[in-house]
Structure 1
Amino acid sequence: MRWLLIVLVAWAGSANAASTTLLIMGDSLSAAYGIERQAGWVNLLSERLNDDVEVINASISGETTAGGATRLPELLGQHDPDIVLLELGGNDGLRGLPPLQMRANLSDMIEASQRAGAKVLLLGIRVPPNYGQAYATAFHNVYRELSDQYDVPLVPFLLDGIALDEGLMQDDGIHPTAEAQDMILDNVWPTLKMLLSKQSANVAKQ
């Protein structure tokens, strides 16, 4: 009887556990900077998803790709995610760091995620035009090149339809308002939904 009880408890625990885990590696754009955390797009994503999908938001305001690459291995081991969303690079751009350095860091993160068995979704960022056309182009191209190299899906610009609308940006001109968070999620959702569907199909086959 005791053995049966242990089995039933273990079964109940596995039944209640999330079948899919998402890990968000981002900066202030995903850490709800300047707004209530529950209003951020990552929290809105959690609310949109079913209970069998767990969202781990490991985003930190001010994070660079170098910082993300340093933190990621431990997070992969801790959470064993099925999908990793990489939303990093904005702070590299604001600091004028070399795009090749950013690319190397993101490459490390993609490779580490794939070795851990996780799918990767890249969320692209753009820098303001005052950084110069050559730098802006090289910066933006990093995301497309990595998407092609590693065959990972890409959202070309996380703030598409938002960044140039002053009414949707905070006074600093960098961070979106609470009203813009639904739009950010809508930019991410179609591509993420595709990954989630594939993940659900893989789980069903097991």
Structure 2
Amino acid sequence: MKLFASSLAVLIALLFSVIPAAAAPVSLVGFGDSLMAGYQLPPEDAFPVRLEKALRDKGLDVTIANAGVSGDTTAAGLARIAWSVPDGTKGVILELGANDALRGIPPEETRKNLTAMIEALKARGIDILLVGMLAPPNMGGDYGARFNAIYPDLAKTYGLTLYPFFLDGVVENAALKLQDGMHPNAEGVATMVDRMLPAAEAFVRKLAE
């Protein structure tokens, strides 16, 4: 009887040893400013939460942590990126620069800060979905040309997935924004998620390979 029990225990151990462990979810961090954080919205309506649900509805096992901080410039993001993106993160949705443009920060400074963040993440083996922003028209043509070129240039230089404009489909539609005329409401976030979903899905599938 003891021999049977011992043999059974060995057999069970062998069976469990050949059963592959369940793959961990693809871990992402949404790193950005108030547009990422979900300014004045319930937590469940913040962009990372809504995007995670949309990706899960596509059958993808993914988690997206919300590391958006309202008011952040690229300089503020650079100062906190090391501790805001935990070890084990597979990819970062990097969305910063809107506050730089609103404050008239020189585009060269924005480019330098984004470059430093990209290089810091890549050094840790973390891939990046770079989210572009456009300068407000009131900043003038020269400023806009210098600022708007930052994101496609960096995506090309570092081989990153680029989503060209975070507020695509929202920026010119007052019904999709809060009363401040700048931040998306819940319907606006839903539009942003719908627009970005194909790029985000491709990004996650690449990370899951």
Match status 1:93 vs 2:104: no
Match status 1:75 vs 2:84: yes
Task: Report the alpha carbon displacement of residue 75 of structure 1 after superposing the two structures with TM.
Answer: 3.0
Task: Report the alpha carbon displacement of residue 46 of structure 1 after superposing the two structures with TM.
Answer: 2.0
Q: Which residue of 1 aligns with 2:37?
A: 31
- Report Cα offsets for 1:146-165 as digits up to 9, x if no partner: 11111111111111121011
Q: 1:131 aligns with which of 134, 139, 147?
A: 139
Q: Which residue of 2 aligns with 1:175?
A: 183
Name structure 2 gaps, 5 residues minimum. Answer: 1-8
The one-letter amino acid of 2:68's match is S
Q: SS at the partner of 2:130? A: strand
- Report Cα offsets for 1:39-90 as digits up to 9, x if no partner: 12211112223473221111100011111111111234x3321111110000
Structure 2 counterparts to residues 9-158 of structure 1, below 5 A: 15=22, 18-50=24-56, 52-76=61-85, 78-158=86-166
TM-score, length basis structure 1: 0.86
TM-score, length basis structure 2: 0.84
The one-letter amino acid of 1:57's match is N
> Bigger shift: 147-156 or 34-43?
34-43
Distance 1:85 1:60 in 2: 14
Q: Which portions of structure 1, spanning 4 or more consecutive aligned residues, are displaced by more than 3 angstroms?
A: 49-52
The one-letter amino acid of 1:48's match is A
Distance 1:127 1:178 in 2: 23
Work out the percentage of aligned pairs sharing the same amino acid.
Answer: 37
Distance 1:53 1:188 in 2: 16
Task: Report the alpha carbon displacement of residue 121 of structure 1 after superposing the two structures with TM.
Answer: 0.7
Count how many residue pairs are aligned between Structure 1 and Structure 2.
192
User: Which is greater in Rg?
Assistant: 2
Name structure 1 gaps, 5 residues minimum. Answer: 202-206
- 1:29/1:109 CA distance change after superposition, 3 Å: same
Q: Is the 8 A contact 2:55 2:197 kept in 1?
A: no
